[in-house]
């Protein structure tokens, strides 16, 4: 436990950047759902079975089978986490003059594309930019916009990506029908399609619940259909792998896979372990078996919905419908007195920490406002993401979070903006330092 006075000192010391805090000074840590979940008994048991042979470890084959059970790609390339898979695939297919569309690129995906000199383009449906609009599949890609891009620049597009669920767009799902539509367009232009599949199981659960015609199918069947519509995937096992570390890159193309493995050996490791220990491979394999269990998914999605419903009832504007892994507070709507370039999301995130030790994450102009040409523009939305670690917090913790948000909402007029006093060239939200205005 910490007092408000202690937290105010801690966040000032951290340059008003929640990433700079000591985690021990955080009471409820909703910074991310990535790698922060609790592993199950059976995952810990699997860790004990980890075989640490350098090449061809039995744990590698356990991992490979578990991945292919859901995603039967010819090549599976293990990495230490999702961004390592991104770095490798975009080094292979990116470069100056190339353009990579996505429903919405996650920050590391965008950064890895831009680091090669290529352009990252977001093509979400227009409803995705309206936080209060309860459209049930806000993760969908705008098919007309994709058509237009492929017609104009098809030769420059090495692959189309679809992120499930759409993290930066609010943890919102993508319809199978939309994914089929993307596939058709990719086929017409001869362009491969990849999934950023971090939250594939949560996406499949939403498909089962909301997309007509899928209620009777199992989550595994829906996941396999998602896999059958694409040519490859990047994955962070820190989300729907239910593990604390890990990821992979998978694809069918032999030539791309060979180039990817050559890069893997340079920075990650031998192709049968990537950046992972044998015990990590075992934990992920077991996690993949657990994450598609429907009792788990029902509990997971309902508990996120519980937080969202509590916040809406307390008058806090949230992105709707409530997403899978997180609730997104609409800081721009809550704090209209703060201009986007004075970072309303940062202001709200700092206030939640000061008031109750709750750590969320700004997803807005701080994260997306700085462009490769050096200019700064308001992001389409200014949100604060409260991401829920898997199988970690209890309902009483979540009730406390609702109380803290309601208390901050009650003094919203007093919140002020921030300015950035120090920032790195890329991914500035991780290390920038701020000052209150
Ligand atoms: C949609 C999405 N893609 C990629 C990543 C990157 O994965 P990692 O953090 O394992 O590098 C994340 C992580 O949060 C993500 O949410």
- Ligand 1: centre distance to CA 248 (Å): 11
Give me 371's structure tokens.
């462009």
pLDDT score of 61: 98
Task: Please choose from 236, 239, 247 the residue to mutate so as to test ligand 1's pocket, defined by most ligand atoms within 8 A of CB.
Answer: 236
Residue 170 clears pLDDT 90, i.e. is over it? no
**Minimal-distance CA residue to ligand 1 atom 2:** 106
Closest CA to 85 of 62, 103, 67: 67
Report the chain's terminal Cα–Cα distance, integer Å. Answer: 29
Work out the number of other CB atoms within 10 angstroms of the CB of residue 392.
Answer: 14
Task: Please choose from 87, 167, 235 the residue to mutate so as to test ligand 1's pocket, defined by most ligand atoms within 8 A of CB.
Answer: 167
For ligand 1, residues with CB inside 6 Å are 34, 81-83, 106, 108-109, 163, 167, 196, 198, 236, 238, 247
- Sorted by sequence, the CB contacts under 8 Å of residue 361 that are 6+ apart come out as 18, 30, 31, 32, 349, 384, 385, 387, 429
Distance CA 336, CA 322 (A): 22
Crossing angle, helix 58-70 and helix 278-291, to 10 degrees?
30
pLDDT score of 131: 87
Which residues of 167-315 form beta strands (DSSP E)? 193-196, 232-236, 247-251
Range 414-432 average pLDDT? 94
Q: Express as a percent the part of the chain with pLDDT over 70.
A: 100
Point out the ligand 1 atom lying closest to the alpha carbon of residue 246: 10
Range 30-42 average pLDDT? 98
Q: Express as a percent the part of the chain with pLDDT over 90.
A: 95
**Minimal-distance CA residue to ligand 1 atom 16:** 167
Task: Please choose from 79, 83, 85 the residue to mutate so as to test ligand 1's pocket, defined by most ligand atoms within 8 A of CB.
Answer: 83
Helix (H, G, I), strand (E, B) or coil at 156: helix
Q: Phi and psi dihedrals of 138, rounded to 5?
A: -70, -5
Query: Which residue carries 């993307």 as its tokens?
Result: 182
pLDDT score of 34: 97
Strands 75-79, 28-29: pairing kind: unpaired
Crossing angle, helix 58-70 and helix 219-228, to 10 degrees?
90
pLDDT score of 167: 84
Point out the ligand 1 atom lying closest to the alpha carbon of residue 34: 14
pLDDT score of 209: 96
pLDDT score of 116: 98
Residue 427 clears pLDDT 90, i.e. is over it? no
Low-confidence winner among 143-152, 167-176, 262-271 (lowest mean pLDDT):
167-176
Torsion of CA 368, 404, 238, 10, to 10 degrees: 70
Work out the number of other CB atoms within 10 angstroms of the CB of residue 251.
Answer: 24
pLDDT band at 169 (very low <50, low <70, confident <90, very high): confident
Range 78-94 average pLDDT? 98
Question: How far apart, in Å, are the Cα atoms of 313 and each of 55, 299, 307?
Answer: 55, 21, 10
- pLDDT tens-place string over residues 305-338: 999 999 999 999 999 999 999 999 999 999 999 9
pLDDT score of 426: 81
Residue 321, preceding peptide bond in cis (omega within 30° of 0): yes
pTM: 0.94
Distance CA 42, CA 191 (A): 40
Residue 165, preceding peptide bond in cis (omega within 30° of 0): yes
Point out the ligand 1 atom lying closest to the alpha carbon of residue 168: 1
pLDDT score of 325: 96
- Ligand 1: centre distance to CA 423 (Å): 21
Distance CA 149, CA 13 (A): 45
Distance CA 145, CA 142 (A): 5
Question: How far apart, in Å, are the Cα atoms of 132 and each of 233, 303, 328, 337, 403?
Answer: 31, 20, 11, 19, 22
């Amino acid at each position: 436990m910490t007092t408000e006075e202690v937290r105010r000192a801690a966040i000032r010391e951290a340059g008003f950047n929640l990433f700079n805090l000591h985690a021990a000074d955080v009471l409820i840590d909703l910074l991310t759902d990535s790698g922060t979940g609790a592993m199950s008994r059976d995952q810990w048991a699997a860790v004990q079975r980890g075989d640490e042979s350098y090449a061809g470890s039995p744990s590698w084959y356990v991992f490979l089978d578990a991945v292919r059970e859901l995603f039967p790609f010819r090549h599976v390339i293990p990495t230490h986490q999702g961004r390592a898979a991104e770095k490798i695939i975009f080094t292979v297919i990116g470069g100056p003059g190339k353009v990579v569309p996505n429903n919405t690129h996650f920050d590391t995906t965008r950064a890895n594309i831009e680091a090669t000199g290529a352009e990252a383009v977001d093509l979400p449906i227009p409803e995705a930019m309206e936080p209060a609009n309860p459209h049930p599949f806000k993760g969908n890609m705008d098919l007309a916009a994709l058509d237009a891009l492929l017609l104009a620049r098809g030769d420059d597009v090495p692959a189309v990506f679809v992120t499930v669920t759409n993290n930066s767009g609010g943890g919102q799902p993508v319809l199978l029908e939309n994914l089929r539509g993307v596939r058709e367009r990719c086929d017409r232009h001869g362009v491969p399609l990849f999934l950023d599949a971090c939250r594939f199981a949560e996406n499949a659960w939403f498909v089962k619940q909301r997309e007509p015609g899928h209620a009777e199918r199992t989550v595994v069947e829906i996941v396999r259909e998602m896999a059958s519509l694409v040519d490859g995937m990047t994955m962070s096992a820190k989300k729907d792998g239910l593990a604390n570390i890990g990821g992979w890159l998978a694809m069918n193309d032999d030539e791309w896979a060979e180039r990817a493995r050559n890069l893997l050996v340079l920075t990650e490791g031998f192709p049968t372990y990537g950046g992972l220990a044998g015990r990590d491979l075992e934990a992920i394999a077991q996690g993949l078996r657990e994450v598609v269990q429907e009792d788990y998914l029902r509990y997971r999605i309902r508990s996120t919905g519980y937080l969202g419903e509590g916040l809406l009832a307390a008058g806090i504007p949230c992105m709707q419908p409530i997403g899978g892994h997180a609730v997104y507070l609409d800081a721009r709507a809550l704090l209209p007195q703060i201009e986007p370039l004075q970072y309303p999301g940062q202001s709200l995130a700092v206030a939640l920490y000061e008031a109750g030790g709750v750590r969320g994450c700004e997803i807005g102009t701080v994260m997306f406002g700085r462009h490769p040409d050096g200019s700064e523009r308001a992001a389409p939305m200014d949100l604060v993401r409260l991401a829920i670690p898997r199988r970690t917090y209890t309902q009483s913790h979540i009730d406390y979070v609702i109380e803290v948000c309601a208390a901050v909402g009650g003094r919203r007029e007093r919140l002020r903006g921030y300015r950035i006093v120090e920032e790195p060239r890329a991914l500035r939200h991780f290390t920038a330092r701020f000052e209150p205005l």
